[in-house]
């Protein structure tokens, strides 16, 4: 299944003390999911990891950032996708208005709609959406994504 993963899932996969870490790692290693995420995920997850390192939750920042780069690289398990910024921002604003989400959560949903849905093989296929956020997951389901 083609699955969009939110930054919250990816960050959790690198932080061993996070609840749900094992589940996030399993998703990254699953052969059942073709994973995609938006380019803004790089900035978000890097920020999470740097902050975790500064408060001593993450001891090997450089190694973890290298793993992130590899996971999001050409041969990694997650493919980066993007759509035109103005189109994503316009759609994200509509999603914020309709669902009351935080801006970054709405940007991920808009990116999933605009950049990942077109990658589906058949018109009837559903895009999976993985997030740790309840409100974002509910909005994703309302938008027709399959919860993962």
Q: Specify the pLDDT at position 86.
A: 98
Percent of the chain with pLDDT over 90: 97
Set out the domains of the chain in order of their start, with CATH numbers: 2-147 (3.40.50.1010)
Q: Specify the pLDDT at position 123.
A: 81
Burial class of residue 62 in the structure, from the number of CB atoms within 10 Å of its CB (0-12 exposed, 13-18 middle, 19+ buried)? exposed
CB 148 within 8 A of CB 128: yes
* C-alpha closest to that of 107 among 127, 90, 132: 90
Q: Specify the pLDDT at position 124.
A: 84
Per-10-residue mean pLDDT, the chain, length 148: 97 96 96 96 98 96 98 96 98 98 98 96 92 98 97
């Amino acid at each position: 299944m083609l699955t969009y993963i939110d930054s919250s899932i990816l960050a959790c996969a690198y932080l061993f003390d996070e609840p749900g870490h094992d589940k996030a790692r399993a998703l990254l290693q699953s052969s059942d999911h073709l994973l995609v995420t938006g380019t803004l995920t790089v900035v978000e997850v890097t920020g999470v990891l740097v902050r975790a390192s500064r408060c001593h939750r993450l001891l090997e920042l450089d190694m973890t950032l290298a793993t992130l780069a590899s996971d999001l690289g050409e041969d990694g398990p997650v493919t980066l996708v993007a759509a035109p910024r103005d189109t994503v921002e316009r759609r994200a604003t509509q999603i914020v208005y309709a669902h009351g989400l935080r801006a970054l959560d709405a940007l991920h949903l808009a990116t999933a709609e605009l950049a990942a849905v077109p990658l589906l093989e058949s018109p009837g296929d559903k895009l999976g959406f993985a997030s740790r956020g309840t409100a974002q997951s509910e909005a994703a389901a309302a938008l027709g994504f399959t919860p993962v």
